[in-house]
Amino acid sequence: MPGQKLDAIDRMILAQLQADGRMTNVELAKRVGISAPPCLRRVRTLEEQGFIRGYHAEVDPRELGFEVQVFAMVGLVSQAEVDLSAFENRCKAWPLVRECHMLNGEVDFILKCVAPDLRSFQAFLTEALTSADNVASVKTSLVIRGAKDEPGVPFDVLEARLAKQA
């Protein structure tokens, strides 16, 4: 099971950094109950092994003038791997697309988009997304408000699963 190759201290480090990636190594070490040098070694190992993919600041899009958030459900003409990869690469190049997820079922991809206003999003929709190669359909839903936006994973659920197996 994923997570088992990490010990309890590694999982605590990940949980603490997920909650606050700006804390100092000294503070992190104190919170997980080890000294600073081994804590730093563990963090670097977690980074090297890919458990920590990076650090970033969570910015408020609306404070920066991005008033519109839209989810776009995209259906493709072809689901051949080469076509799926081409669409993913195209999404990576579109600045308004902030997330791109391939799905199974009726929709091939869901995109999370942000734009300064509806006119900007409409221009992207009509000039780029719907006219892109291999795009068969696009359905959009405008976000009215968000109720929850939690990053990462629920470590309490992971710990409960591991405790049941012990």
DSSP element (H, E) containing 76:
strand 68-76
Q: Check if CATH label 1.25.40.10 holds for domain 1-57.
A: no
Calculate the alpha carbon distances from 43 to 2, 57, 101 in Å: 18, 19, 28
Dump pLDDT digits (tens) for 60-108.
999 999 999 999 999 999 999 999 999 999 999 999 999 999 999 999 9
Domain ranges of the chain: 1-57, 62-142
- Same fold flag, 1-57 and 62-142: no
- Please name the amino acid found at residue 123: A
For 19-54, write each residue's pLDDT tens digit. Answer: 999 999 999 999 999 999 999 999 999 999 999 999
State both tokens at 125: 């929709």
CA distance 78 to 133: 10
